[in-house]
């Protein structure tokens, strides 16, 4: 064709199609999908979170187990809890020496005037640890080693003992017997009013 | 007459033999780089040796003099090695059971060759190591070698101090004699007084079969379970932990570069020139370094040999104590904790067990760890300096004096019943106990006001009087510093209150076992 | 460089001293104390018998007794104890006394029971001082030769018929004569006025007060001196509120003191030591004493008087003379010689059954340490009756009847 000849009017060129959008990335597709499903994380993110979460749960659990490992469920300590008969076995106003040799305790039952409580005194002198004796005639506990004297109930009043005799924890067992724990003792007379320091009979 | 050829000297005869050995294949396969004293070989001695390459190839000469570090750090680690070797040897004859432990100690003393020496060396090295790590920490502080970038290493060091104490404490139980069982009883009773997690402390939420003491001992009493746990802690867990932290400690020493810097010569110092300025004027002095091999290594070696001589001599002369077989029914009077804890035991005179045995040790550890982070003063790194860090040095010195003072009192001046005795006074088990009849508690409101006043004045007054100090630290650091300083001075305050004013507790809430 | 020469010097000195220490330590291992004794022993054997010893090795010898929890190395130095030909040799090489097969050692094979079960001491030690138990913190020093008999009671339940245990028998006689059980308890039997005797010798040495003991600070020495002068060894301590010992000074002879000390030691031996048990198969139980036959009720009553230790307060045969500080009526526990005059039989029974507390002489002084216990639970009816007969018989026959003095 010569440049001079006017080109016959052609059909107007077909409208160019709009430029194609670049293809969507995987991530963008995922994001769109989550928007569609109204979720706030992707599946990948969820699985990643779940996996790490599971790992840390396991790790935390293992650490917890390791700590619990150091608390044995039993110990081989010598026993300190003993059953010592029924409250009826003990007369009112009496210091009973039945278990003095076996468990190193006296079982004392106050008269109603004194309050009527039943409690257990640990037979260890608070001076240097000897075993005192109950002298019913003189109404006192007397230590043969250096002469410490303790009144009814265990309050020290003579000799070198610095503190009253200690009392042991008492409770009623299911079979009606008194159960006492010589390893759990109350040193301070103020603690003697606690409900586990004496039994109301 | 012609001179007869001189007979060859002995050394001259030896030379070809020596040369033949040194050029043989066997020799060269072991001693690869010969002993020729060249700079290259000096470097290789350090670089190509797995043990020595903890060191740098060259160090600044300021690090060499004995009085710079007193070699405390290196000797502490050396003592750890001595303890490991002697400890492993002892393990061949010691059984950690209540039936055998004590009698095995007797056998070590009487029928195991060198057993007595070995056991003594183990015991005395342990005491010396505890002392040396304390000296090491003190000398690092006085040389400002904890300041940036070395803060993290200081914290690692405090952790190592703690591990050293625990190693010594767990080892203390193993002979299973009266000294062992009762010292550990005292120590673990302090654990039982931990707030919240101890069954006898304030705000206790666990009973005695679940508390901190139970975890330590595996039981409510110091018995077979405790002996086995302490044995495992002492021989395996704590040494492994120690080694891990030592590795980090050494790594950081290298990474942060040795802190030793030269100080200006006398004439300059007399003129008042400070090291930092002098370094700026003469930057070449910081580059002056000498070879670690032989200069540093030789000093370390001789220090170690001298220490070994002292240890062996002492171990030959003085037997480590072994008292009667452990008897849970007979409490010796007095029952003292090991010497490095006896300062805390002395605090029990003035504070309840949860404060003396738990709160104060925790504050000490935390306070020590905080030091690098609350000290913004960049001066003094690498040399002993008081003038430019007066506050820091003074406070630390007060703490050190207090610590060792309490140890001295608890160790030498407390006798039966924890009564006060002069160090030369003989103990009298029948001396009537000193009267506590005069002691009284202040009313709680008064005590509270006093404490609040102490805190307020302590926090407020320095801020007003030393504005510069406050500005330099900023409010957070200032608050932290003053908190620890006030806590530290509370000890002598309490001592004075009790001894001169007969005051026992400022605040007394027996229902919660809370007394201050 | 000055510094360098200091370092060099230090190195030289310390290396040299270390080498010296090694030599010293090595020498101690090569030439321990016991080696000399063994070498000497073998020499002695060759001298005396003309022949070398049967087992001539130089080594520590031990008797390992896991059941006893003991390991005795005494035989390392005492090599001649089972060699009858060493009778004339000096210690430590001499033969053990009474070696014969039908003698003491025949019945007590030391390879089965060791040495320390009888002699005490520290079996595991290998030096003289430590082995004999004279080591600080060793609680069981070797018993003095005269007191070894006390440990017979570790195995033998009945020492009365044992040959060689005469001292224990004598001690027992004195024990009953003086009525120790009147104040002391023994395995729970007796009275609570003074400490329990079965665990006295087993106590730790720190539990004794040695301020007034002149001899060695050992448990044995304390017991010996306490017998000699109770008030000296356990005086009053007013600052602590501890009263003086109310144990009478019996003015015992040395031989009596030793017998009683051996007896007290034997009580602990009998009670046993949980650290050093005696296996059951070695125990020789005592035979029960035959029922005694009494010629008369008075003699029976005398036996009751002794059995319950009445002499502790009322003296031998009711003579009295036992101090009871701050007791009214003379500061002494009453004599019983004339008791039948002051009391009817029934009154006497009442006092004995229910006890009595003496009144104080001075109200602000501590109460008297001795009192009459209640014997209701302890005396049988028959014993009470014969005791009455005995007490009534105490009045001397030639005494003037009451009210008939001029």
Q: Is A141 in contact with A133 (CB distance < 8 Å)?
A: yes
pLDDT in tens, A13-33: 667 777 777 787 887 887 777
Put residue B288 in one of left, alpha, beta given phi > 0 → left and psi -120 to 50 → alpha: beta
Residues A32 and A65 in one domain: yes
B218 and A183 within 8 Å at the Cβ level: the answer is: no
Q: Which residues of A touch C192 (CB under 8 A)?
A: 133, 135, 142, 144
* Residue B157: per-residue pLDDT: 97
Residues A113 and A158 in one domain: yes
Residues A125 and A46 in one domain: no
Out of A155-169, B150-164, B262-276, give the one with best mean pLDDT: B150-164
Residues 327-356, chain C, touching B (beta carbon < 8 A):
none
Q: How confident is the model at residue B199 (pLDDT cuts 50, 70, 90)?
A: confident
Q: How far apart are CA C3 and CA B508, in angstroms?
A: 61
Secondary element (H or E) of residue C70: strand C70-72
Residues A179 and A92 in one domain: yes
Out of B432-441, C125-134, C386-395, give the one with best mean pLDDT: C125-134
Q: Is residue A179 part of a domain?
A: yes
Which chains form contacts with chain C, at 3 or more CB pairs under 8 Å?
Answer: A, B
* Residue B194: per-residue pLDDT: 82
Q: Which two tokens stand for residue B119?
A: 């056991």
- Can you list the positions of beta strands (E) in A43-164? 81-83, 94-96, 105-109, 117-122, 133-135, 140-142, 149-151, 156-158
pLDDT in tens, C260-284: 999 999 999 998 888 999 999 999 9
SS3 A160: coil
Is B12 buried (19+), middle (13-18) or exposed (0-12) by CB count in 10 A? Answer: exposed
Secondary element (H or E) of residue B280: helix B275-281
CATH (domain of A94): 2.102.10.10
Q: Is C122 in contact with C131 (CB distance < 8 Å)?
A: yes
Q: Is residue A10 part of a domain?
A: no
Q: Is residue A18 part of a domain?
A: no
What is the average pLDDT score of chain C?
Answer: 87
B308 and C211 within 8 Å at the Cβ level: the answer is: no
* Residue C406: per-residue pLDDT: 39
Mutate to test the interface with A, among C184, C185, C195 (most CBs of A within 10 A): C195
Put residue A100 in one of left, alpha, beta given phi > 0 → left and psi -120 to 50 → alpha: alpha
Q: Is residue A76 part of a domain?
A: no
SS3 A135: strand
Task: Check CB contact of C30 with chain B, cutoff 8 Å.
Answer: no
Q: How confident is the model at residue C404 (pLDDT cuts 50, 70, 90)?
A: very low
Q: How would DSSP label each residue in A20-36? A: PPPPPPHHHHHHHHHHH
Task: Check CB contact of A75 with chain B, cutoff 8 Å.
Answer: yes
- Residue after which a domain boundary falls, among A13, A42, A70: A70
Q: Is residue A21 part of a domain?
A: no
Nearest CA in chain A to C236: A146
Q: Is C336 in contact with C394 (CB distance < 8 Å)?
A: yes
Q: How far apart are CA B224 and CA B429, in angstroms?
A: 31
Residues A173 and A98 in one domain: yes
Residues A42 and A121 in one domain: no
Task: State mean pLDDT over B313-334.
Answer: 91
Task: State mean pLDDT over B131-140.
Answer: 97
Q: Is B173 in contact with B230 (CB distance < 8 Å)?
A: yes
Q: Which residues of B touch A72 (CB under 8 A)?
A: 218, 225
> Torsion angle of alpha carbons C367, C372, C377, C382, nearest 10°?
180
CA-closest candidate to residue B324, choices C203, C267, C62: C203
Task: State mean pLDDT over B286-301.
Answer: 91
Q: In angstroms, what separates the C-alpha of B254 from chain A's closest C-alpha?
A: 33
Cα(first)–Cα(last) distance of chain A, in Å? 131
Q: Is residue A58 part of a domain?
A: yes
Domain count, chain A: 2
Residues A90 and A62 in one domain: no
Residues A122 and A92 in one domain: yes
Q: How far apart are CA B481 and CA C129, in angstroms?
A: 58
Q: How far apart are CA C151 and CA C117, in angstroms?
A: 7
Which chains form contacts with chain B, at 3 or more CB pairs under 8 Å?
Answer: A, C
Q: How confident is the model at residue B168 (pLDDT cuts 50, 70, 90)?
A: very high
Q: Which residues of B touch A162 (CB under 8 A)?
A: 433
Out of C18-22, C248-252, C395-399, give the one with best mean pLDDT: C18-22
SS (H, E, C) B100-158: CHHHHHHHHHHCCCCHHHHHHHHHHHHHHHHHHHHHHHHHHHHCCCCCCCCHHHHHHHH
CA-closest candidate to residue B111, choices C24, C125, C56: C125
Mutate to test the interface with B, among C34, C72, C135, C137 (most CBs of B within 10 A): C137
Q: How confident is the model at residue C168 (pLDDT cuts 50, 70, 90)?
A: very high
Q: Is A142 in contact with A133 (CB distance < 8 Å)?
A: yes
Residues A141 and A87 in one domain: yes
Q: How far apart are CA C268 and CA B32, in angstroms?
A: 73
Q: Is C198 in contact with C207 (CB distance < 8 Å)?
A: no
3-state percent helix, strand, coil for chain A, nearest multiple of 5: 25, 25, 50
Q: Which two tokens stand for residue C31?
A: 């030439």
A101, A142, A146 member nearest C242 (Cβ):
A146
Q: Which residues of B touch C239 (CB under 8 A)?
A: 432
Taking the CA of residue B506 as centre, how many other CA atoms within 13 Å lie in the half-sphere pointing to its CB? 18
Q: How confident is the model at residue C216 (pLDDT cuts 50, 70, 90)?
A: confident
Angle at alpha carbon of residue C150, lines to C145 and C152, rounded to 5°: 110
Task: Check CB contact of C2 with chain B, cutoff 8 Å.
Answer: no
Q: How far apart are CA B456 and CA B465, in angstroms?
A: 14
Q: In angstroms, what separates the C-alpha of C42 from chain B's closest C-alpha?
A: 22
Instruction: Say if residue C400's pLDDT is above 80.
Output: no
Task: State mean pLDDT over B53-82.
Answer: 93
Residues A148 and A178 in one domain: yes
* Residue B1: per-residue pLDDT: 46
Residues A52 and A105 in one domain: no
Instruction: Say if residue C228's pLDDT is above 90.
Output: yes
- Residue after which a domain boundary falls, among A70, A95, A128: A70
Is A95 buried (19+), middle (13-18) or exposed (0-12) by CB count in 10 A? Answer: buried
Q: How far apart are CA B269 and CA B278, in angstroms?
A: 10
Q: How confident is the model at residue B22 (pLDDT cuts 50, 70, 90)?
A: confident
Is B325 buried (19+), middle (13-18) or exposed (0-12) by CB count in 10 A? Answer: buried
Task: Check CB contact of A69 with chain B, cutoff 8 Å.
Answer: no
Q: Is A145 in contact with A132 (CB distance < 8 Å)?
A: no
Residues of B in CB contact (< 8 Å) with A are: 209-210, 214-215, 218-221, 223-225, 329-330, 433
Q: How far apart are CA C312 and CA C373, in angstroms?
A: 12
Q: Is residue A131 part of a domain?
A: yes
Instruction: Say if residue B140's pLDDT is above 50.
Output: yes
**Residue whose token pair is 């004293």:** B37
Domain around A53: 26-70
Q: Is residue A182 part of a domain?
A: yes
Residues A64 and A146 in one domain: no
Q: Which two tokens stand for residue B239?
A: 């040494």
CA-closest candidate to residue A109, choices A196, A3, A200: A200
Angle at alpha carbon of residue C274, lines to C271 and C279, rounded to 5°: 80
Task: State mean pLDDT over B343-350.
Answer: 90
pLDDT, mean of each 10-residue run, chain A (201 residues): 55 70 80 71 88 95 92 86 89 87 90 89 84 82 81 86 90 90 88 90 78
What ipTM is given for this predicted complex? 0.87
* Residue C397: per-residue pLDDT: 77
Q: Which domains does chain C have, with CATH numbers?
A: 32-132 (no CATH), 148-282 (1.10.760.10), 297-394 (1.10.760.10)
pLDDT in tens, B444-472: 999 999 999 999 999 999 999 999 999 99
Q: How far apart are CA C137 and CA B193, in angstroms?
A: 32
* Residue C405: per-residue pLDDT: 44
* Residue A34: per-residue pLDDT: 66
Q: Which residues of C touch A145 (CB under 8 A)?
A: 195
A144, A158, A159 member nearest C192 (Cβ):
A144
């Amino acid at each position: 064709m010569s440049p001079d000849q006017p080109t016959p009017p052609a059909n107007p060129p077909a409208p160019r199609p709009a430029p194609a959008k670049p293809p969507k990335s995987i991530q963008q597709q995922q994001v769109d999908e989550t928007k569609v499903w109204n979720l706030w994380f992707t599946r990948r993110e969820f699985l990643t979170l779940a996996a790490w979460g599971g790992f840390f749960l396991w790790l935390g659990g293992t650490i917890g187990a390791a700590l619990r490992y150091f608390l044995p469920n039993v110990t081989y300590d010598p026993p300190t809890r003993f059953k010592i008969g029924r409250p009826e076995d003990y007369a009112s106003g009496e210091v009973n020496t039945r278990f003095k040799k076996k468990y190193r305790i006296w079982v004392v039952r106050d008269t109603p005037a004194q309050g009527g409580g039943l409690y257990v005194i640990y037979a260890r002198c608070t001076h240097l640890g000897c075993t005192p004796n109950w002298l019913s005639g003189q109404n006192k506990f007397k230590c043969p080693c250096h002469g410490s004297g303790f009144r009814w109930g265990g309050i020290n009043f003579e000799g070198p003992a610095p503190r009253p005799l200690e009392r042991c924890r008492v409770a009623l067992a299911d079979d009606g017997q008194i159960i006492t724990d010589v390893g759990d003792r109350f040193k301070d007379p103020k603690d003697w009013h606690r409900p586990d320091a004496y039994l109301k009979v | 007459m012609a001179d007869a050829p001189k007979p060859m000297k002995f050394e001259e005869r030896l030379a070809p033999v020596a040369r033949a050995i040194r050029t043989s294949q066997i020799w060269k396969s072991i001693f690869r780089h010969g002993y020729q004293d060249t700079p290259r070989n000096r470097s290789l001695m350090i670089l190509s040796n797995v043990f020595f390459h903890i060191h740098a190839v060259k160090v600044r000469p300021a690090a060499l003099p004995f009085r710079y570090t007193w070699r405390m750090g290196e000797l502490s680690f050396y003592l750890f090695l001595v303890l490991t070797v002697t400890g492993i040897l002892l393990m061949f004859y010691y059984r950690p059971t209540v039936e055998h432990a004590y009698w095995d100690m007797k056998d070590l003393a009487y029928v195991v060759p060198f057993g007595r020496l070995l056991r003594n060396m183990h015991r005395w090295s342990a005491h010396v190591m505890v002392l040396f790590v304390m000296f090491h920490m003190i000398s690092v502080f006085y040389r400002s070698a904890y300041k940036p970038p070395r803060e993290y290493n200081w914290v690692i060091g405090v952790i190592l101090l703690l591990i050293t104490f625990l190693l010594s404490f767990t080892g203390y139980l193993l002979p299973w004699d009266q000294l062992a069982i009762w010292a550990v009883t005292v120590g673990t009773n302090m654990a039982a007084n931990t707030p919240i997690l101890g069954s006898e402390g304030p705000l206790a939420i666990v009973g005695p079969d679940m508390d901190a003491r139970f975890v330590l001992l595996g039981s409510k009493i110091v018995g077979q379970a405790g002996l086995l746990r302490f044995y495992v802690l002492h021989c395996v867990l704590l040494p492994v932990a120690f080694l891990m932290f030592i590795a980090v400690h050494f790594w950081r020493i290298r990474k942060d570069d040795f802190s030793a810097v030269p100080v200006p010569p006398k004439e300059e110092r007399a003129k008042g020139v400070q090291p930092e300025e002098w370094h700026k004027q003469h930057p070449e002095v910081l580059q002056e370094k000498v070879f670690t091999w032989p200069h540093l290594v030789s000093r370390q070696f001789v220090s170690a040999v001298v220490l070994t001589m002292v240890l062996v001599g002492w171990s030959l002369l003085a037997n480590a104590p072994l008292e009667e077989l452990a008897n849970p029914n007979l409490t010796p009077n007095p029952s003292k904790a090991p010497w490095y804890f006896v300062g805390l035991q002395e605090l029990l005179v003035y504070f309840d067990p949860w404060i003396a045995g738990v709160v104060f040790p925790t504050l000490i550890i935390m306070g020590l760890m905080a030091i690098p982070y609350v000290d913004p003063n960049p001066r003094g790194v690498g040399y002993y300096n008081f003038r430019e860090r007066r506050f820091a040095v003074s406070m630390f010195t007060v703490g050190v004096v207090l610590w060792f003072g309490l140890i001295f009192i608890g160790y030498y001046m407390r006798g039966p019943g924890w009564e006060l005795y002069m160090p030369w006074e003989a103990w009298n088990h029948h001396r009537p106990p000193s009267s506590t009849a005069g002691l009284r508690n202040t009313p709680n409101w008064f005590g509270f006001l006093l404490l609040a006043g102490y805190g307020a004045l302590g926090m407020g007054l320095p801020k007003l009087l030393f504005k510069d100090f406050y500005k330099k630290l900023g409010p957070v650091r200032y608050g932290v510093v003053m908190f620890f300083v006030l806590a530290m001075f509370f000890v002598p305050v309490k001592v004075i209150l009790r001894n001169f004013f007969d005051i026992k507790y400022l605040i007394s809430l027996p229902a919660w076992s809370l007394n201050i | 460089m000055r510094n360098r020469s200091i370092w060099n010097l230090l190195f030289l000195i310390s290396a040299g001293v270390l080498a010296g220490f090694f030599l010293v330590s090595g020498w101690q291992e090569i030439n321990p104390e016991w080696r000399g004794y063994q070498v000497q022993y073998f020499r002695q054997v060759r001298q005396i018998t003309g022949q070398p010893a049967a087992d001539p090795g130089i080594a520590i010898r031990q008797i390992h007794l896991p059941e006893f929890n003991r390991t005795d190395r005494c035989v390392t130095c005492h090599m001649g104890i089972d060699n009858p030909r060493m009778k004339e040799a000096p210690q430590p090489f001499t033969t053990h006394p009474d070696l014969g097969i039908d003698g003491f050692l025949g019945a007590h094979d030391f390879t089965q029971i060791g040495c320390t079960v009888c002699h005490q001491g520290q079996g595991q030690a290998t030096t003289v001082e430590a082995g004999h138990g004279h080591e600080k913190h060793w609680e069981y020093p070797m018993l003095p030769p005269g007191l070894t008999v006390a440990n017979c009671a570790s195995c033998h339940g009945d020492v009365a018929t044992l040959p060689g245990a005469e001292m224990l028998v004598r001690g027992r006689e004195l024990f009953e004569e003086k009525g120790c059980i009147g104040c002391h308890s023994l395995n729970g039997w007796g009275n609570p006025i003074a400490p329990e005797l079965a665990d006295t010798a087993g106590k730790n040495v720190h539990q004794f007060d040695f301020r007034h003991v002149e001899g060695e600070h050992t448990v044995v020495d304390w017991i010996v001196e306490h017998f000699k002068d109770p008030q000296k060894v356990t005086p009053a301590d007013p600052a602590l509120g501890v009263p003086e010992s109310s144990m009478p000074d019996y003015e015992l002879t040395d031989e009596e003191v030793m017998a009683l000390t051996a007896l007290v030691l034997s009580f602990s031996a009998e009670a046993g030591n949980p650290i050093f048990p005696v296996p059951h198969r070695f125990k020789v139980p005592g035979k029960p004493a035959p029922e005694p036959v009494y010629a008369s009720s008075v003699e029976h009553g005398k036996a009751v008087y002794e059995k319950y230790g009445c002499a502790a307060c009322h003296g031998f045969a009711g003579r009295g003379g036992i101090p009871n500080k701050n007791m009214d009526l003379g500061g002494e526990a009453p004599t019983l010689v004339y008791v039948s005059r002051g009391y009817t039989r029934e009154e006497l029974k009442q006092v004995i059954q229910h006890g009595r507390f003496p009144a104080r002489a001075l109200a602000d002084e501590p109460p008297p340490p001795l009192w009459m216990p209640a014997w209701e639970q302890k005396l049988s009816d028959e014993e009470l009756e014969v005791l009455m007969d005995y007490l009534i018989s105490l009045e001397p026959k030639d005494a003037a009847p009451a009210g008939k003095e001029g």
